[in-house]
Amino acid sequence: MQFVILGLLLSGPLSLYDLQKRFAAGISLFYSASSGSIQRALQHLAADGAVVVADADDSRRGRKVHAITDDGRQRWRAFMLAPIADGTDAETIVLAKVFLLGRLESPEDRSAVVRGIRAHIDSSTGILRALADDVDARSAGLDDDARRVFTFQRATLDYGLRSHALLRQWIDEVGGQA
């Protein structure tokens, strides 16, 4: 969440309320965040020096705005360019990176992000295909009860393979625009 917030702050200082509206207006489709979790993330970012907090220029009620620092910009760029680690919520990270991709100024950086996403998808697909081959090989000779169970477990694996194929097709289309 911190990197999504940093990406949003690239457009200029935002209040907690402004960030909540931005999450509700689109980010919540792939990343759910409560007001409290956004506020805690902002506090951590401020404590780490990635954002600074100031009074809003137009504020008579003490409204605070958060602005990204140079350190925050560097951290955000490093997140965007970093490979997607195994064991993470990869789909959410992919969607966050694509959502924020236009905030990277350099076409080379945008292309690097897309290449990194492709590499992750291809690696994950390879793992799923190997698993499918193994599961299919072990399914030979199952009795009727085991075959019934296997059928639906294999269907779940097939869903994963299909969703990865669709994700790969989609990122190729996105990459053409990067």
The reported pLDDT for the residue numbered 85 is 86
**pLDDT one-digit tens code per residue, 31-79:** 888 889 999 999 999 999 999 998 877 666 778 899 999 999 999 999 9
Angle at alpha carbon of residue 166, lines to 165 and 167, rounded to 5°: 90
Taking a C-beta distance cutoff of 8 angstroms, is the pair 116, 84 a contact? yes
The reported pLDDT for the residue numbered 178 is 64
The reported pLDDT for the residue numbered 63 is 83
Nearby residues of 135 by Cβ (< 8 Å), 6 or more positions away? 150, 153, 154, 157
Residue 11 buriedness (CB in 10 A; 0-12 / 13-18 / 19+): exposed
Sign of CA dihedral 136, 88, 94, 82: negative
> Span 18-29, mean pLDDT?
88
